[in-house]
Amino acid sequence: MIDGKEVKQESGQKNLKFKIAIVVGVLFVAYIGMAIFFRNHFYFGTTINGVKASGKTVEQVNDLLTSSTNSYTLNLEERNNKKEQIKAKDIDLKFTPDDKVQKIKDSQSAIGWIGGIFKSKEYNNMVNLSYNKDLLEKRFNALSCFDSKNVVEPKSAYPKYDSTKNAYVIVPEVLGNKVKKDDFYKLVQNSINSGNTSISLDESKVYEAPNNTKDSEKLKQAIKTLDKYVGVVVTYDFSDRKETLDGSEINKWLKVDSEKNYDITFDNDAMVEYTRGLSKKYSTFGDSRPFKTATGKDITISGGIYGWLIDKKKEAEALVDVVKAGKNVTREPIYIQKAVSRNRDDIGNTYVEISLSGQHMWFFKNGEMLVSTDVVTGDLARGFATPSGIYPLNYKARNVSLTGQGYSSPVSYWLPFNGNIGIHDATWRNSFGGGIYKSSGSHGCVNTPFSKAKKIYENIEPGTPIILY
313 within domain boundaries: yes
Domain range spanning residue 443?
351-468
Same domain, 333 and 363: no
- pLDDT at residue 10 in the model: 62
Distant-in-sequence, close-in-space partners of 260: CB < 8 Å, separation ≥ 6: 211
- pLDDT at residue 172 in the model: 98
Q: Among residues 41, 145, 443, 445, which one is catalytic?
A: 445
Same domain, 377 and 406: yes
Same domain, 425 and 396: yes
CATH number of the domain that 453 lies in?
2.40.440.10
Same domain, 313 and 374: no
- pLDDT at residue 333 in the model: 98
Of 442, 450, 447, the closest CA to residue 432 belongs to: 447
Indicate the number of domains in the chain.
2
User: Could you list the pLDDT tens digit for every one of the 469 residues in the chain?
Assistant: 455 555 556 666 667 777 777 877 777 777 787 778 888 898 888 888 888 988 889 888 888 888 889 999 999 999 999 999 999 999 999 998 888 888 888 888 777 777 767 776 788 877 788 999 999 999 999 999 999 999 999 999 999 999 999 999 999 999 999 999 999 999 999 999 988 999 999 999 999 999 999 999 999 999 999 999 999 999 999 999 999 999 999 999 999 999 999 999 999 999 999 999 999 999 999 999 999 999 999 999 999 999 999 999 999 999 999 999 999 999 999 999 999 999 999 999 999 999 999 999 999 999 999 999 999 999 999 999 999 999 999 999 999 999 988 788 999 999 999 999 999 999 999 999 999 999 999 999 999 999 999 999 999 999 999 999 9
Q: CA-CA distance, 254 to 191, in Å (whole number)?
A: 48
Of 402, 385, 253, the closest CA to residue 319 belongs to: 253
148 within domain boundaries: no
145 is known as an active-site residue = no
Listed residues 337, 365, 399: the one ending a domain:
337
Listed residues 305, 337, 369: the one ending a domain:
337
Question: How many C-beta atoms lie closer than 10 Å to residue 57's C-beta?
Answer: 14
Same domain, 280 and 386: no
Q: Among residues 41, 145, 424, 443, which one is catalytic?
A: 424
pTM of the model: 0.76
303 within domain boundaries: yes
Question: How many C-beta atoms lie closer than 10 Å to residue 340's C-beta?
Answer: 19
Same domain, 299 and 355: no
- Helix, strand, coil percentages (3-state) for the chain, rounded to 5, are 35, 25, 40
Same domain, 369 and 332: no
Same domain, 320 and 406: no
Same domain, 308 and 388: no
CATH number of the domain that 252 lies in?
3.10.20.800
366 within domain boundaries: yes
Same domain, 291 and 362: no
The burial of 394, by beta-carbon neighbours within 10 Å (0-12 exposed, 13-18 middle, 19 or more buried), is given as middle
249 within domain boundaries: yes
Containing 431, the helix (H) or strand (E) segment is none
366: left (phi over 0), alpha (psi -120 to 50) or beta: left
396 within domain boundaries: yes
Same domain, 221 and 309: yes
- pLDDT at residue 45 in the model: 85
Strands 465-468 and 351-355: parallel
Q: What angle do CA 440, 446, 451 make, to 5 degrees?
A: 110
- pLDDT at residue 441 in the model: 97
- Answer yes or no: are the C-beta atoms of 196 and 184 closer than 8 Å: no
Q: CA-CA distance, 141 to 147, in Å (whole number)?
A: 9
Listed residues 303, 337, 371: the one ending a domain:
337
Distant-in-sequence, close-in-space partners of 285: CB < 8 Å, separation ≥ 6: 305, 306, 307, 308, 309, 336, 337
Distant-in-sequence, close-in-space partners of 140: CB < 8 Å, separation ≥ 6: 86, 185, 188
- With b for 16 or more beta-carbon neighbours within 10 A and e for fewer, the 136-151 pattern comes to beebbeebebeeeeee
136 within domain boundaries: no
23 within domain boundaries: no
Q: How many separate helices (H) and strands (E) can be counted in the chain? A: 13, 28
Same domain, 393 and 357: yes
